[in-house]
Structure 1
Amino acid sequence: AGHIPGARFVDPKRTQLGQPPAPGLLPTKAQLEALFGELGHNPGAVYVVYDDEGGGWAGRFIWLLDVIGHSKYHYLDGGLLSWQAEGLPLSTDVPAPVGGPVPLTLHDEPTATREYLQSRLGAADLAIWDARGPTEYSGEKVVAAKGGHIPGAVNFEWTAGMDQARNLRIRKDMPQILESLGITPDKEVITHCQTHHRSGFTYLVA
Structure 2
Amino acid sequence: MNADNPKGYENPDLLWTPAQLNERMGDPNLRIIDTRPGERFAMGHIPGARHFNVYAINCDDSDEAPLMSFLRMWAFLLGNRGVSFENTIVFYDDRVGNTCVRGFWFLELFGHGDVHVLDGGYGGWERAGLATTRDSEPLKAANFEFNLQRDRIATYKDVLAAIEDDDHVLLDTRTEGEWLGTEARAKRGGALPGAVWQEWLAHLTPEGEMKPASELRAQFEAIGVTPEKEVTAY
- Report the identity percentage: 30
The residue matched to 2:150 in structure 1 has which SS? coil
Task: State yes or no: 1:171 paired with 2:211.
Answer: yes
Could you list the structure 1 runs, at least 4 aligned residues long, displaced by more than 4 angstroms after superposition: none
CA-to-aligned-CA distance 1:93-148 (integer Å, 9 cap, x gap): 21322215433343322111111110121322211111122232122334433332
Q: Is the 8 A contact 1:55 1:78 kept in 2?
A: no
The residue matched to 1:160 in structure 2 has which SS? helix
2:188 maps to what in 1? 146
Report the Cα offset of residue 27 of structure 1: 6.7
Q: 1:175 to 1:116 in 2, by over 3 A?
A: same
2-structure distance, mates of 1:68, 1:181: 30
Q: Which runs of 5+ in 1 are unaligned?
A: 193-206
Q: 1:138 to 1:17 in 2, by over 3 A?
A: closer
2-structure distance, mates of 1:170, 1:179: 17
1:181 maps to what in 2? 223
**Root-mean-square deviation (CA), in Å?**
2.3
Q: 1:137 to 1:82 in 2, by over 3 A?
A: same
Alignment size in residue pairs: 185
CA-to-aligned-CA distance 1:46-80 (integer Å, 9 cap, x gap): 11221114321010001110121102112111100
Pairing 1:72-91 to 2, within 5 Å after superposition: 72-91=114-133
Q: 1:47 to 1:13 in 2, by over 3 A?
A: same
TM-score, length-scaled by structure 2: 0.70
2-structure distance, mates of 1:124, 1:180: 17
1:202 maps to what in 2? none
Greater relative contact order, per chain length (Cα 8 Å cut-off, separation 6+): 1
Report the Cα offset of residue 174 of structure 1: 1.5
